[in-house]
Amino acid sequence: MKGVNDVMKIVLAARNVLPFHSFCGTGRYVHGLAKHLVELGATVDIIAPPEREGRAVQDSANGINYHFISPMVKGSRFFGFYRSYHLHNFHAAKFVSKMDFDILHIFEINAFPYLFRRNRKPVVASPFHRGTEPWKEESLSARFSELPIDFPLSYTLEHADAVASEGPTQTKKLIEKYGIPPKKVFEIPDGVDLNLINEYTENPAFSRRDVGLSDDDFVLISVGRTDPMKGVHNIIDAFAILVEELPNAHLVLVGEGSEDDKIHQRIRKLDLEERVRHVKNVSDRELFSYYSVSDVFVTGTLYEGLPQVILEAMACGLPIVATDTGENSQVVKEGVNGFLVPPKEPHAMAEAIIRLHDTEKRRKMGADSRRMIREYDWEFSAEKALKAYEKLVA
């Protein structure tokens, strides 16, 4: 049992982490948790694959030690991604087994082979959205294509000493699908660094005029990867519907991904080039400046846990239009700080956005977003995590 004054040594194993990987919700989550665990007095090492070939195997930032274990995870599903991901996982597990630490926290299945060891340290697993995606129940091909992830994920959830979910909706689904004992699950919701966000919004990198927008424009923003799961094409279709009624509407897309070309083709086909701005590889200060010049945050995600970008938008005082999936209803309260719409229904999304064209309603909902976000400061989430870790180590 660790003494009161002993320093907790924590290893986090993830496939993405800021500031070394491209924009990704997982990476932001791991970075936020690690940073605040260090502020609480713990030591934190992060295990991850390199973002690019040939990257240094070790680095440090914000008091966190990073270990980049080859190979880089890349390529198409069966002929690149799965092979490189699992090769990285075995190398990462071998590396972890030689480290001095108290607890290992696995995100998705990173370094999962460490669970095979007899004399191992306690392990916490965070599956995020993995394993409970609704489309797997609807499509045999989807279930088959995800087997190389789902088999090790099932093993990880069964053999880990604890499972960390993002909220009550995910907790319920994990218990029902995997038969996990309820006492084995604890919740670490996504968080935001409110002090840092306030600093960014008080000292923005640019104004509306700097990016070609006027005070009279009605500006929507969506942040995240342009991957199929994010439903960005539905946002484009909803925007095409609402511009017929709102000629001053503009859309800012922040992020990149596998569907960039398809999204650009869709924008051109709907003749929206003058109204849609797509930006990539922005710094955090630039990201929060884009939030600050916007009026409404929109997400078309088809399924995930609790998107951190929703919390970031709330911290910037924006009302939210989100799909009613995953943990979104945990933070988006219908008619209070935004609206929930069914996934894959652009007309419903457009109607919800149009309701927020009313300036007074928008301001009130934005104020409620800012009020509600206070309980999602990373400081509180990190404290929950540290208490859970200490209990497992004891």
User: Exposed, middle or buried: residue 314 (CB in 10 Å: 0-12, 13-18, 19+)?
Assistant: buried
**What residue ranges define each of the domains in the chain, with the CATH number in brackets?**
9-191+377-393 (3.40.50.2000), 194-376 (3.40.50.2000)
User: Exposed, middle or buried: residue 246 (CB in 10 Å: 0-12, 13-18, 19+)?
Assistant: middle
Which are the contacts of 302, defined by CB distance < 8 A and separation ≥ 6? 135, 228, 229, 230, 231, 323, 325, 343, 344
* pLDDT tens per residue, range 145-202: 678 888 999 999 999 999 999 888 889 989 999 999 999 999 998 899 999 999 999 9
Which are the contacts of 184, defined by CB distance < 8 A and separation ≥ 6? 161, 162, 163
Which are the contacts of 246, defined by CB distance < 8 A and separation ≥ 6? 218, 354, 357
User: What is the number of residues in the chain?
Assistant: 394
Q: Which residues of the chain have pLDDT under 50?
A: 1, 3-4
- Is 298 strand, coil or helix? strand
Pairing of strands 64-68, 58-61: antiparallel
At 101, list the tokens: 């630490």
Nearest to 250 by CA among 223, 278, 283, 288: 278
Task: Name the CA dihedral angle for 280, 286, 289, 293, rounded to a multiple of 10 degrees.
Answer: -30
Task: Give residue 327's region: left, alpha or beta (phi > 0; psi -120 to 50).
Answer: alpha
Q: How much is the CA Rg of the chain, to the nearest whole Å?
A: 21
CA torsion sign for 110, 113, 115, 119 is negative
pLDDT the model gives residue 133: 66
